[in-house]
Chains A and B, each alone.
Chain A
Amino acid sequence: DIQMTQSPSSLSASVGDRVTITCRASQGIRNDLGWYQQKPGKAPKRLIYAASSLQSGVPSRFSGSGSGTEFTLTISSLQPEDFATYYCLQHNSYPPTFGPGTKVDIK
């Protein structure tokens, strides 16, 4: 299985801050990666697909980059509704595997 790691595991930030989350794959996955946002009691919501494509309806302050083994999710200006846990997902090879998550909370 491809192992996905995320860093940091948690972070505290203020409204307006620029936030970057990193996801690393244990082997190359091209750009077969998505980013998800999950709020308590809710299902994950896809933000980014194909590593850097913005899901329709998702604010443009979210962006993704990377290819191969290292990927980043950036929130350019954190908003109150962005406090949540973020997961990456690789679907390059089976089984698909998720990162362990990054919890973003209020400083």
Chain B
Amino acid sequence: QVQLQESGPGLVKPSQTLSLTCTVSGGSISSGGYYWNWIRQHPGKGLEWIGYVFYSGSTYYNPSLRSRVTISLDTSKNQFSLNLSSVTAADTAVYYCARAERMDVWGQGTTVTVSS
């Protein structure tokens, strides 16, 4: 049973880079042909897809965030990561990682607050 777990700082200062990691257990991140996604949810709001990294390492980002987002794979650690640069208070959200185009398996989420 594949499981995903997000980790990273819960507090980030404005203008800095938000960095999160998703650790995958119960399966290899580099097999199966899966897309590995990041999604966020602003407080009390709906869900916004941020981007994915394919098992091959190729990426695709939401155009609304493309200029600030980098998603990468670390196959040696069975992890993938999100970097979001130049953050503002508007990036305060719960961040989730999820597997596949169909987003069948999700992590539990991690709350990130942007504040000085």
Q: Give A contacts to B, CB under 8 Å.
A: 1, 34, 42-46, 49-50, 55, 87, 89, 91, 94-101
Q: Which B residues from 46 to 63 make CB contacts under 8 A with A?
A: 46-49, 60, 62-63
In the complex, whether B106 has a CB less than 8 A from a CB of chain A is yes
Complex-state Cα separation, A87 to B46, whole angstroms: 8
Give the interface size bracket for B toward A: 10 to 19
Contact of A89 among B60, B96, B103 (CB under 8 A): B103
B49 A43 Cβ-Cβ under 8 A: no
Complex-state Cα separation, A50 to B37, whole angstroms: 18
Given contacts A95-B62, A95-B63, contact A46 B49 (CB under 8 A): no
Residues of chain B within 8 A (CB-CB) of A34 are 102-103
Q: Give B contacts to A, CB under 8 Å.
A: 37, 46-49, 60, 62-64, 96, 101-104, 106-109
CB A89 to nearest CB in B, in angstroms, measures: 6
Complex-state Cα separation, A101 to B46, whole angstroms: 7
A87 B47 Cβ-Cβ under 8 A: yes
